[in-house]
Structure 1
Amino acid sequence: MRVLLSTYGSRGDVEPLVGLAVRLRALGADARVCAPPDEEFAELLAGAGVELVPLGKPVRTFMHGATPPSAAELARLRIEMVAEQFDTVAAAAEGCDVLVAAGLAQVAARSVAERLGIRYVYASYHPVSLPSPHHPPAPREGWPPPPEGADNRTLWDLDARGITELFGDALNIRRASLGLPPVDNVRDHVFTGEPWLATDPVLGPWREPADLGVVRTGAWILPDGRPLPERLVAFLEAGAPPVYLGFGSMRAPEGLARVAVEAIRSRGRRAVVSRGWADLAVLDDRDDCLVVGEVNQQALFGRVAAVVHHGGAGTTATAARAGAPQVVVPQMVDQPYWAARVTALGIGVAHDGPTPTAASLSAALGTALSAGTRARARAVADTLRTDGAEVAAKLLLDTATRGGPAPSA
């Protein structure tokens, strides 16, 4: 069996698909991944022995350009992105039995699968992206505020209309050229009535009853066996466990590293600062801070006192599995959801607002570093599953063979 896995986004969008691809290959399937051609993604897939099919332009250049793109530029980029997906994904999917798409940006994937007559699966990495009467849609940057007092169903209807306004014309022009009928609701077309949810059932549960027949697989984890750099190991062994600070691929609030290091020091702790796409750095030369590049978080988070981060799905899950208390400083999209889950589970605290001060971050760290939070984080870690990629891989193999809908795991 041949499977094409496709996404467009940051590392948090790409790495789960690599984890799924590795499990598929272990079960005898041929799996390749369509993803942005960023250097770190190419290295990630090469290290896992998975073929990369470059899709679109590098994400880092787009997300961290000198100035944010204008509305006109964004409109042009959306049209180009849909066209690129039709061309690249269609070529990569030739001869495949299943096409798995992750992320709403994959608006062309289902049309490609229809045209080729192959099975299509949509997967989400967080519950809050899927329509439900139990939660509102995540706020979308640049969209007008919703009507005051609107209920969840109204908010999801508005969300669907907004997505169709953004992508409908570009999608339907290409569908027409392929002899496919037009789509009047792009979001629901992409999601299907049975989307897959690749989250841990404790960390990111799905509430029933719901309108969608969501298939819950568990999170798709790519095991990381890389050793930590010697310099980092020496730092860890030179004193008490430090606090980790990282913002992944996000633009960090101005002065975040300075503010965070001041807060960490106020708690009598050392700091490991992950440079990330925000290029975080420490401005003084004191020996209680170490700046690192991309490292094995699965190994590192088990050796730190707490993890301060932006609230991405991957970082949240990795810290939770390691039993590390968290301080989440959410910025956008699904990050407020993960911050709320960390707080609800008692495994850390959500910072109030996206721009911390030294005082506000120190207060949040006080909660995260408490004995109660540490004990709770360790207890919850023992309840989290690590078999989501295997569950998903077996479901794909089974449903591709039978040709019917996927059962809930």
Structure 2
Amino acid sequence: MPILVYAPGSRGDVAPFTGLGVRLREAGYEVAIASYDEFGGFVREAGLEFRSIPGDPRGIGATPEGQRWQEGGGGPLGTLRMIKAFRSHLAELNEGILAAGAEGADLLLSNSMAVFTAYHVARELRVPLLATPLQPWVPTADFAPDMLVPFQLGAWGNRAVGRISLLTGEYVMGAKQLGALTTSVMRRELRVINGFSSVVVPPLSDWTEDENGVGFWWPASRPDWEPPAALADFLAAGPPPVYIGFGSREFSDPARLNDLVAHAVKLAGVRAVVQSGWARLELNGDDVLTIGEAPHEWLFPRMAAVIHHCGAGTTAAGLRAGVPAIGVPAITDQPFWAKRLETIGASPGWVPFGELTAERLAALITEAPRHAERARALGELVRAEDGASEVVRRVSRLLG
């Protein structure tokens, strides 16, 4: 039986597990990834088995509730908007997680979205479960989860809000028994391997050594990928541009966002590569080029700076490239990563999506070059880590 990796969510929730799956396969294990059909080709291209989870991640974000959630920011109100957006999808999502597990596995790995249901699948199958979140997930005294509280509450308060965050996750995922995954239960019955860098999130005061970040996990490499002629020509025609993209975020007024981004680029006096993504950006001109899909591993090192939504995977890709970043976070863990980028010196600052203006974005773009040297140094540190090897080591310890 294979190792089964649960990775529902957006592309950024799936991509790191393709590279991790390849590393596990190279170590001699069979690997299957369970996610939405939209990402099946992505998984199969990496040479991994794909198990389908029903649902349309774009469709959820495109609903009025989904757009209000993505544009409204975090905090308690943002959490309520998230619950409303996902309510109609929960039953089929949980059924898909259960069905993928029913096909059998020797070991389960799960991102933070699926772990509450995966916990019960593991108990049913009597196999180990490794929680493999891409963001801090175990409650800690060192900070509170940004998705609930955008400020600090002291050691007791931070840890309490972390526990509330777990309860919220169980509720959102329709858990039959709230409170099943307490911190003590997690440490006793499942193991947590955090897929982020200690360069970005240093070891925490109340986490065990095994719970601290092991390093980012990278999408499966595509060494044969070649850029479209328009992109290659644009890059060759002038100085490095800035990258602008919002990944899998979907917004209600793409025309307004296009105008804002175009004005910011003009005010900053820079060239820009704009990735259309689910936000439906579309700008073109002498100094601006809109592109479709392109591996960040190839694209980001050729940029002067990267402006993005601060999803965990995009944040990691920018750090690995060693270029300054500007965060425009909207939901969930995105404000956390935006703050971390600024704190470690890789970013001149960030602005919440709901407060974004052309003037604020242009000002941050203008300041970005001052962070180039620090970003390069951080990139060297991040590239020196090998988070996947630590996962392979721990899996080998479990399965032999």
TM-score, normalised with respect to structure 1: 0.84
Q: Which residue of 2 aligns with 1:139?
A: 147
Q: Which residue of 1 aligns with 2:100?
A: 89
C-alpha contact (below 8 Å) 2:115/2:131 kept by paired residues: no
Worse-matched range after superposition: 381-390 or 20-29 = 381-390
C-alpha contact (below 8 Å) 1:122/1:192 kept by paired residues: no
Report the CA distance shift for 1:164/1:299 in structure 2 as closer, same or farther (over 3 A). closer
Report the CA distance shift for 1:30/1:321 in structure 2 as closer, same or farther (over 3 A). same
The 2-side partners of 1:203 and 1:98 are apart by 29
Report the CA distance shift for 1:108/1:306 in structure 2 as closer, same or farther (over 3 A). same
* CA-CA distance at 1:52 after TM superposition: 1.1
1:155 lines up with 2:161 in the alignment: yes
* CA-CA distance at 1:114 after TM superposition: 1.3
C-alpha contact (below 8 Å) 1:245/1:274 kept by paired residues: yes
Alignment of 1:167-246 (within 5 A): 167=173, 170-172=174-176, 184-186=179-181, 188=183, 191-192=186-187, 194-210=191-207, 214=211, 216-222=213-219, 223-225=221-223, 226-246=225-245
In structure 2, what residue type is equivalent to 1:256?
L
The 1-side partners of 2:152 and 2:361 are apart by 33
Q: Which residue of 2 aligns with 1:265?
A: 266
Alignment of 1:366-381 (within 5 A): 366-370=366-370, 373-381=371-379
C-alpha contact (below 8 Å) 1:12/1:313 kept by paired residues: yes
Q: Secondary structure at the match of 2:367?
A: helix
C-alpha contact (below 8 Å) 1:242/1:270 kept by paired residues: yes
Alignment of 1:291-310 (within 5 A): 291-310=290-309
The 2-side partners of 1:74 and 1:319 are apart by 29
* CA-CA distance at 1:148 after TM superposition: 8.7
The runs of 5 or more residues in structure 1 that have no matched partner are: 173-181, 402-409
C-alpha contact (below 8 Å) 1:195/1:212 kept by paired residues: no
C-alpha contact (below 8 Å) 2:203/2:212 kept by paired residues: no
In structure 1, what residue type is equivalent to 2:100?
V
1:113 lines up with 2:116 in the alignment: no
The 1-side partners of 2:313 and 2:366 are apart by 24
In structure 2, what residue type is equivalent to 1:162?
T
* CA-CA distance at 1:187 after TM superposition: 6.1
The 2-side partners of 1:247 and 1:392 are apart by 29
Worse-matched range after superposition: 238-247 or 392-401 = 392-401
* CA-CA distance at 1:165 after TM superposition: 4.1
C-alpha contact (below 8 Å) 1:306/1:326 kept by paired residues: yes
The 2-side partners of 1:163 and 1:37 are apart by 23
In structure 1, what residue type is equivalent to 2:145?
P
- Aligned residue pairs, count: 377
C-alpha contact (below 8 Å) 2:7/2:110 kept by paired residues: yes
In structure 2, what residue type is equivalent to 1:257?
N
Q: Which has the larger radius of gyration?
A: 1
Report the CA distance shift for 1:333/1:189 in structure 2 as closer, same or farther (over 3 A). farther
Alignment of 1:309-320 (within 5 A): 309-320=308-319
Q: Secondary structure at the match of 1:197?
A: coil
C-alpha contact (below 8 Å) 1:325/1:377 kept by paired residues: yes
Report the CA distance shift for 1:89/1:171 in structure 2 as closer, same or farther (over 3 A). farther
TM-score, normalised with respect to structure 2: 0.86
* CA-CA distance at 1:261 after TM superposition: 2.5
Report the CA distance shift for 1:237/1:253 in structure 2 as closer, same or farther (over 3 A). farther
Report the CA distance shift for 1:165/1:6 in structure 2 as closer, same or farther (over 3 A). closer
* CA-CA distance at 1:247 after TM superposition: 0.3
* CA-CA distance at 1:205 after TM superposition: 2.9
Q: Which residue of 1 aligns with 2:30?
A: 30
The 1-side partners of 2:367 and 2:135 are apart by 25
For 1:190-234, what per-residue CA distance to the aligned partner results, in whole angstroms no more than 9, with x for missing partners?
955531101011023331233796154311112232222222011
* CA-CA distance at 1:236 after TM superposition: 0.2
CA RMSD of aligned residues (A): 2.7
Q: Which residue of 2 aligns with 1:100?
A: 109
Worse-matched range after superposition: 260-269 or 186-195 = 186-195
Report the CA distance shift for 1:147/1:216 in structure 2 as closer, same or farther (over 3 A). closer
1:281 lines up with 2:276 in the alignment: no
C-alpha contact (below 8 Å) 2:194/2:214 kept by paired residues: yes
In structure 2, what residue type is equivalent to 1:153?
R
Q: Which residue of 2 aligns with 1:80?
A: 92
Identity %: 29
* CA-CA distance at 1:253 after TM superposition: 7.5
